[in-house]
Amino acid sequence: MEETKAVVENAASNIEAVKSLAAAIAIGIGAIGPALAIGKLASKAMEAIGRNPEAAPKIQTAMILAIAFTEAIAIYALVIALIIKFI
C-alpha cells in the first residue's frame, strides 16, 4: 500500500516537472522569433532614417506599430506557457 502511494506521488511530481519544462520551452521558443524580428525591424528603420531623415516621423510611426504587433506574438507565447504551467 505504501509502495503504491509512493509511486503515485512520484508520478505527480514528474508531471509537474514536465509541465514546468514545457512552459519554459514554450516561452523560450516563443520569445526568440519576436526578439529577432524587433531587432531586424529597428535596424532597418534606423537605416531608412539615416538615408532619408525627413521621413523619420513616418518611419518611426510605422516602426512602433510593427513592434507592437510583433510583441503581441511574445505575449501569446507567455499566455500559452502559463496555460501549460497552471492547467
Q: What is the pLDDT of residues 30-42, one digit of tens each?
A: 999 999 999 999 9
pLDDT of 1 above 80: no
CATH number, domain with residue 11: 1.20.20.10
**Residue range 20-25: mean pLDDT, rounded:** 94
Q: What is the pLDDT of residues 43-78, one digit of tens each?
A: 999 999 999 999 999 999 999 999 999 999 999 999
Write out the residue range of the structural domain in which residue 11 sits: 2-86
| pLDDT recorded at residue 72 | 94
The three grid cell numbers given for residue 42, joined into one nine-digit string? 529597428
The three grid cell numbers given for residue 9, joined into one nine-digit string? 506521488
DSSP summary character for residue 58:
H
- The vertex-45 CA angle with 40 and 46, nearest 5°, equals 100
Domain count, the chain: 1
Share of the chain above pLDDT 70, in %: 99
